[in-house]
Amino acid sequence: MGGHNPGIKLLDKDGKRIDGRGLYDLRPIKMEIGVLKKADGSAYLEWGGNKVMAAVYGPKPVMPRHLANPYKAVLMYRYNMAPFSVDDRKRPGPDRRSIEISKISRDALERIVMTEYFPNTMIEIFVEILQADAGTRCAALTAASLALADAGIPMRDLVAACAAGKIDGKVALDLKKEEDNYGESDMPLAISPRTGDILLFQMDGLLTKEEYLESLHLALEGAKKVSEMQKKALKDKYKIETLGGEDDKV
């Protein structure tokens, strides 16, 4: 991010991006809900080259027990990148980056999940990045929110996330890996679409004030589109189940 750009052009002469997108286009997104039978809730998300699986357990007894809160459920969020998710094998297990992403994602969901309904319990959210192509923290939170809904956990809203940034001097929506690596800035955010509250906000690189405002606006609009897709995915899933469709989960 914001690093040395070794002569790599991210926009062609027509202003198209390396994957053919315009500046304000999202990558293709596919959402599937209730894909794992052993978890209480789950969702699988493809977002461009990102492939993400989210699973939710709970509300369940708190382990270790001394972490229990008599006023609300304890939320646990684990973001993990599979060793095979990136070009070179990634060393398995948590690292600084995944611990940070887990923390800020948990903090975002804490504002949305109605933890006060389930004192002395815990809700565990696991997100596995199976394939990474930038924007994985946004994809992970978007999938986690669907998995929480699938688990029937009461929430104030569905969290939707999206990033915007700057490539070859232009503000652009939803950067992919090369754009994130060789671009000038990246700004992931997550929102509660119902209230417009920003639940997660980060920024790498440099932007002018105008670019910052444009990027913020673009990411917000992107997250709203993601939110519409989430609602549609949930409605489609519900329709299949009421028609006695493929899902035999009890």
**For residues 112 and 155, is the Cβ–Cβ distance under 8 A?**
yes
Nearer to ligand ADP, 34 or 188 (CB): 188
Q: Which residue in the set 132, 161, 189, 190 belongs to the binding site for ligand ADP (CB under 6 A)? A: 132
How buried is 82 (Cβ within 10 angstroms: 0-12 exposed, 13-18 middle, 19+ buried)?
middle
135 contacts ligand ADP (rule: CB under 6 A): yes
Q: Which residue in the set 17, 21, 51, 177 belongs to the binding site for ligand ADP (CB under 6 A)? A: 177
134 contacts ligand ADP (rule: CB under 6 A): yes
What is the widest separation between alpha-carbon atoms in the chain? 60
Rg value, the chain, Cα: 18
The region of 14-22, 57-65, 133-141, 209-217 touching ligand ADP under the rule CB under 6 A is 133-141
Nearer to ligand ADP, 51 or 137 (CB): 137
Q: What size, in residues, is the chain? A: 250
Contacts (CB under 6 A) with ligand ADP, residues 77-106: 86, 90, 97
150: its two tokens? 């699938």
Nearer to ligand ADP, 112 or 190 (CB): 190
170 contacts ligand ADP (rule: CB under 6 A): no
**Residue 175 per-residue DSSP state:** -
DSSP assignment of 14-30, as one string? TS-BTTS--TTPPPPEE
The footprint of ligand ADP (CB under 6 A) covers 86, 90, 97, 132-137, 177, 180, 186, 188
